[in-house]
Structure 1
Amino acid sequence: MKYLIVHDAAPGQFVHIYKHLLKTGDHDILVASRKGSTLRLPVKQVVYDLPENLAGPDVGFADKAVGLGLNLYRELKPMAISGWVPDVILSHASRGASYFLKDLFPDARMVSLFEWYYGVPSPAEVKTGAALRQKCRSAAATNMPILRDFELMDAGYVPTEFQRAQFPRGWQSRLEVLHDGVDTDLYRPASSLTLEVSGKRFRKGDEIMTYAGRGMEHTRGFMQFMAAAAKVQGIRPNLHVLIAGADRICYDGKKGPGLKARAEEEIPFDKDRTHFVGLLPEAKFVSFLQISSLHVYLTRPFVLSWSMLNAMSVGAPVLGSDTAPVREVIRDGENGRLVDMDNADALADAMDRMLGDRAGSAALGKTGRATILEKYDLKKCLKRQLELMHGQ
């Protein structure tokens, strides 16, 4: 069969599907990704981007979405003319790359992955009328290419119930809740392990608290984590804190440097026992989680990160923020712990108690792994994804 995978950072969330198709062979795979985020893959690839006349800051989001879709259309049109037609299109409903795919390939089955619908803020959240109008226009424009995917798709899915609930009610019945899946064979418990990062060696059994994120930002509770970790370091002299991620903003709004410098200036954490290890390759990230005595995952109500589920899959005890996306997975006291991320004392106290109760935390970690095996195991999720792709 012929497959077209479209994602700004392809294969992105389709990575498990891509690897499965590549492994099973006898498939003709074409991957389309945006310039600047292209990986070298052993399949046919095309690269799309905004035309130069649409790349400026004064160009509206809607115009950019259509421009992005038109650029990909032009890249794919010669293949369509030559007779290459996909049986299945996998589209990440996002910035507009998929805008004209059905015009080019009307008979292809299009399956779209939806992550987020940008809601309009209330007047209470945005005080001035001008700011509220700008926020409303921004949300409407950002949702426009996502709506286009919804109109074009033959089937669509969303990773969690919480994420589906953000979409208009009329959409929800057509969006299946289906997670990307966790490779539980790769993300598995380890009884003994040594990890070397930043020139230091850590062993499983050492008192280690971990935090991971794409960036260091407010959406993922970075400052709250650092403040609470500093308090706990003052109580527990053997505690080392390992932080995986880049010092950047991914979700807070305008892209730019993250909050690391601010944390260093405002929070008196122990720099000798706090280790910023950067973005780790996956094999090393698995070990990073496996040696953890406690993994902390904090987030505002937003897309749920893979890292929390990966930590649960290796059996690490997880302390999560008491927010809707986390509550969908963690039941407080059964397979992890929940805490108000804005209550610094409660957050620090929960960290201290979980680190001090090794047996209790290990039991939570074991139940957490069972949760992932039951509901998020890759084998189960991938099976359903393939069924959806093939109309079953």
Structure 2
Amino acid sequence: MNIVFIHQNAPGQWRHIAAHLAAEGGHKIVIIGKHKRVDIEGADYRLYKVSPAHESPEPGNPESLFASFIGHGKAVAEILKTLLAEGFKPDVIAAHPGWGESIFAKDVLPDVPLLHYCEFYYRSKGADYGFANDTTLEGDMALRARNAGLNLSLEAMDWGVCPTNWQKAQHPASSHDKITVVHEGIDTSVVKPDPEATIVLPTGRILTAQDEVVTYVARNLEPYRGIHIFTRAAELIQRQRPNAHVVLVGGTGVSYGGPPADGRTWKENLLDTARLDPMRTHFLGTLAYDRYLKVLQTSSVHVYLTFPFVLSWSMTESMSAGCLIVGSNTQPVQEVLRHNENGLMVDFFKPEEVAATVCDALENRDKLRHLREGARNTILSGYDQAAHCIPAHKQLLLDLAAGRRPALSHTPSATLGAA
């Protein structure tokens, strides 16, 4: 096949299937993006630039966001035109539509199937917006306007792929009959339990699986991923468990939502309100992947909290690593976690409940080993990259390239919670 993958942080969510096809041979792969994040041997990368205004649209300004969307689409359209002029025509295009990059793909190549990675569609009710704050009419209207580009993308695509059923359900019902559910998958041969793993702290101290290690991971420490709840719970945990160490992985920027009103980071803001033991609280910042895995493998209890939003890779990776997980009872988590089967569920808004559940889990680690096994088996039975997800993505591309209608579901929902 001739395949074009499009993602501003190239190759983004297409990383695993693109790498597999490149290694398999027999395919010509072009990856279009704004930044080259991962090098895939054998792939032809084409990078584009947009104007400063389109690079940094005004937050909360639908007109600016839509102009940025169009600007990204025009930049990618020029690359597609260049590829055609060079004699390269793809059999299928796979793109993330979130920044507008593929909006004109069907105008340049009208007879080439377009697959979109349908990550998230914004809703004024039932998802992240209004989950923790009051809504306003102005906010509702801005959110609808924000979806303008996504609606154009849904109209343009021939097919879509979505990692979870809940994320698919956020999209308009009219698009559901052309969106397949299949996760990007986890490399379970790498992300696996390791009882010998250790965490080397900045102080030089080494934590092992024999210690009480409560872990928390997010791309950035922010409310969308429950950092404000976790820090309050961590204070209570440390009071009740004098040997418990709290290890936090994540940056201090903002991935979702906005910064605190006082202009500081969420970490700075929250440390003023939570009395954490500095000798037993360890902010590790962003880590190289191998060090991040060591944190999961050493964890006694791993806490994952989130707004109703995109399910983090760290959640499925913590399950694959065999963590004892305490997760929020929000919809994305409910799709992969089953209370007392492969983890423990808590109310997102109740730090006291989070703390009590973590303390009980620390006290009864040996009795709760089946939860670790259940979490690992959930990933093995339906989210394993080599056995399930990469073959499903490949079949999706083959079907589209051949003009066949793909299967609507490769979801492992029937095996969730299997032990």
TM-score calculated relative to the size of structure 2 = 0.87
Corresponding residue number in structure 1 for 2:92: 88
Q: Structure 2: how far apart are the matches of 1:241 and 1:127?
A: 32
Q: Output one character per residue of 1:152-203: Cα deviation in whole Å (capped at 9) or x when no partner.
A: 2222111111111111111222212111111111111113222324233222
For residue 240 of structure 1, what is the amino acid of its counterpart? Answer: H
Residue 168 in 1 paired to residue 178 in 2? no
Do the aligned partners of residues 200 and 90 (structure 1) sit closer, same or farther apart at CA in structure 2, a change above 3 Å counting? farther
Q: Shift of residue 108 of structure 1?
A: 2.3
- Aligned partners of 2:201 and 2:108: how far apart in 1? 48
Counterpart-to-counterpart distance in 2, 1:44 and 1:137: 41
Candidates 331, 337, 345, aligned match of 1:338: 345
CA contact (8 A) 1:217 1:223 kept: yes
CA distance in 2, matches of 1:376, 1:359: 26
* Structure 1 residues 145 and 347, CA gap change in structure 2 (3 angstroms): same
Aligned residues: 387
Tell me if structure 1 keeps the 8 A contact 2:22–2:40.
no
Measure how far apart 1:38 and its partner are.
4.6
Tell me what 2:228 maps to: 223
Equivalent position of 1:48 in the other structure: 48
Deviation at 1:375, TM superposition (A): 2.0
Query: Which 10-residue stretch deviates more, 187-196 or 353-362?
Result: 187-196
Partner-residue secondary structure (3-state), 1:266: coil
CA displacement 1:308-344 (0-9 Å, x = unmatched): 1111111111000011111111111111000012112
Displacement after TM superposition at 1:47 (Å):
1.9
Q: Equivalents in 2 of 1:38, 1:373: separation in Å?
A: 27
Please, which of 371, 384, 387 is the counterpart of residue 395 of structure 2?
387
- Tell me how far apart the structure 2 counterparts of residues 54 and 241 of structure 1 sit (CA, whole Å): 40
CA contact (8 A) 1:316 1:362 kept: no
- Answer whether contact 1:155 1:388 (CA < 8 A) is retained: no
Residue 284 of structure 2, aligned match among 239, 256, 277 = 277
Q: Residues of 2 paired with 1:172 and 1:298: CA distance?
A: 28
| CA separation of 1:363 and 1:38: change in aligned 2, threshold 3 A | closer
Structure 2 match to 1:136:
140
Instruction: Give the residue type in structure 2 aligned to 1:27.
Output: H
Aligned pair partner of 1:252 in 257, 267, 287: 257
Per-residue CA deviation, residues 347-384 of structure 1 (Å, 9 max, x unaligned), is 11001000110112322111111111112111201111
Aligned partner of residue 31 in structure 1, secondary structure:
strand
Counterpart of 2:7 in structure 1 is 7
Aligned: 1:207 with 2:215: no
* Ranges in structure 2 where 5+ consecutive residues have no aligned partner: 400-405, 407-419
SS in 2 for 1:358: coil
Q: Which amino acid aligns with 1:213?
A: A
Structure 2 residue aligned with 1:367: 374
- Any stretches of 5+ residues in structure 1 without a counterpart? none
Matched, 1:264 2:263: no
In the aligned structure 2, how far is the partner of 1:367 from the partner of 1:284? Answer: 24
Instruction: State the distance in 2 between where 1:174 and 1:28 align.
Output: 26
